Chains A and B, each alone.
Chain A
Amino acid sequence: EAQVTQNPRYLITVTGKKLTVTCSQNMNHEYMSWYRQDPGLGLRQIYYSMNVEVTDKGDVPEGYKVSRKEKRNFPLILESPSPNQTSLYFCASSFGLDEQFFGPGTRLTVL
């Protein structure tokens, strides 16, 4: 089944404790991206990747890191999480830059 998976789906952590949210797709998509969704603010892009080893900042990259060592995986890293990073995170992938397929989301709470 073609899909985008994210792990974990829910995470509660404390300020400053490094965490990684994994994202994997099995559709051989070149393009992958991370979004955060906050009430009243819609979906804001954090980082995106056009292909392996190619990443670029989106609208709200501060406090986040990404890597793209393999085509199928695009992990999101929070080196020192803060409460303002409490949000719902979505990973997405696509062949080109048109229809994006979203993962199920990761709800992160930083205390």
Chain B
Amino acid sequence: GENVEQHPSTLSVQEGDSAVIKCTYSDSASNYFPWYKQELGKRPQLIIDIRSNVGEKKDQRIAVTLNKTAKHFSLHITETQPEDSAVYFCAASIIQAGTALIFGKGTTLSVSS
């Protein structure tokens, strides 16, 4: 089955710096890659997702890139702000097959001002 590895497990940056979180997946058939943000004590919420027919997607300060050949995808946050501090999870699935969404173990991002 699918396995998703996420790195780093913790990341500390200064406000205004960029942050990059990387994930690798094992199943080459996976075609949907979402990123969820979970603030302390809250539920996970989708912040951006990408499908395998797209190499990059941007939404304001966040972007996701996908390299299908290498089977990895990354979350990029530019101009980080203290409110970006949270746990970020990547995930992978095969949408058409109805397979489970497999999550990485999460990255705790701390943005200090």
* B68-105 to A contact mask, C-beta < 8 Å, 1/0: 00000000000000000000010101010011111111
Q: Are B43 and A98 in contact (CB under 8 A)?
A: no
Question: Is A74 positioned at the interface, with any CB of B under 8 Å from its CB?
Answer: no
Question: Is A76 positioned at the interface, with any CB of B under 8 Å from its CB?
Answer: no
CB-nearest residue of chain B relative to A45?
B100
Partner of A99, one of B9, B34, B89, B100: B34
Q: Considering only CB atoms and an 8 Å cut-off, how many residues of chain B contact the other chain?
A: 23
Residues of chain A within 8 A of B46, CB atoms compared: 99-100
Partner of A100, one of B98, B101, B102: B101
A98 and B89 contact, Cβ closer than 8 Å, known pairs A42-B104, A50-B98: no
Residues of chain B within 8 A of A44, CB atoms compared: 103
Interface residues of A in 36-83 (CB under 8 A from B): 40-45, 48, 50, 56, 58-59
Partner of A104, one of B43, B91, B105: B43
Question: Is B45 positioned at the interface, with any CB of A under 8 Å from its CB?
Answer: yes
Query: How far is it, in angstroms, between the C-alpha of A18 and the C-alpha of B53 when the chains are bound?
Result: 46
A43 and B44 contact, Cβ closer than 8 Å, known pairs A59-B100, A97-B32, A99-B34: yes
Residue positions of B touching A, CB distance < 8 A: 1, 6, 9, 32, 34, 43-46, 49, 89, 91, 93, 95, 98-106
Query: How far is it, in angstroms, between the C-alpha of A60 and the C-alpha of B71 when the chains are bound?
Result: 24
Q: Are A43 and B89 in contact (CB under 8 A)?
A: yes
Chain B nearest CB, measured from A104 CB (Å): 6
Residue positions of A touching B, CB distance < 8 A: 33, 35, 40-45, 48, 50, 56, 58-59, 90, 96-100, 102-105
Chain B nearest CB, measured from A7 CB (Å): 15
Q: Are A98 and B104 in contact (CB under 8 A)?
A: no
Residues of chain A within 8 A of B32, CB atoms compared: 97-98
Q: Are B98 and A97 in contact (CB under 8 A)?
A: yes
Q: Are A99 and B49 in contact (CB under 8 A)?
A: yes
Partner of A45, one of B6, B45, B95, B101: B101
Residues of chain B within 8 A of A50, CB atoms compared: 98
Q: Are B103 and A102 in contact (CB under 8 A)?
A: no
Residues of chain A within 8 A of B98, CB atoms compared: 50, 56, 97
